[in-house]
Amino acid sequence: MLLAAWTWCALGIALGFAAYLAKAEWIPAEWYRLSAPHRHMLLVGFLLQWICAVAYWIYPGVRDRLDRAAAEFTWWMLNGGTLLRAMGEGTNLPRLGAMGAGLQATGAIVFIVLVAFRRLGGLKL
């Protein structure tokens, strides 16, 4: 998850820079619409995955209880959702962006259920 998080961080910063250059009229103005994908790449792609990786690392015993398939499912949902959402917002395809948002939400919820609730002992799956 950390490698994916750092990849999204680099892509988000690059898109943010391109959007700023468009706002400053140094490149075509159409590039400014990359500001929304830039924010989602940084917030979900980088920050949320960083939080998930750190939570997975610091909670003792979570790795023993966390099903590998569920962890991979979370990874695919977060990364696939971020990619679809960035493509949908960058190309003005709202349905693609909405599908990506749904995948992101699914990945986040699965992670919360598998790690946070199991760690607190309140949910037995």
Dihedral pair phi/psi, residue 10, rounded to 5°: -65, -45
Out of 22-26, 39-43, 51-55, least confident range:
22-26
The whole-angstrom separation of Cα 31 and Cα 36 is 11
What Cα–Cα distance (Å) separates residue 88 from each residue in 38, 65, 100? 12, 36, 8
- The answer to whether the predicted template modeling score (pTM) of the entire model surpasses 0.85 is no
pLDDT band at 99 (very low <50, low <70, confident <90, very high): very high
CA within 13 Å, CB half, 42: 11
Rounded distance between C-alpha atoms, residue 101 and residue 114, angstroms: 20
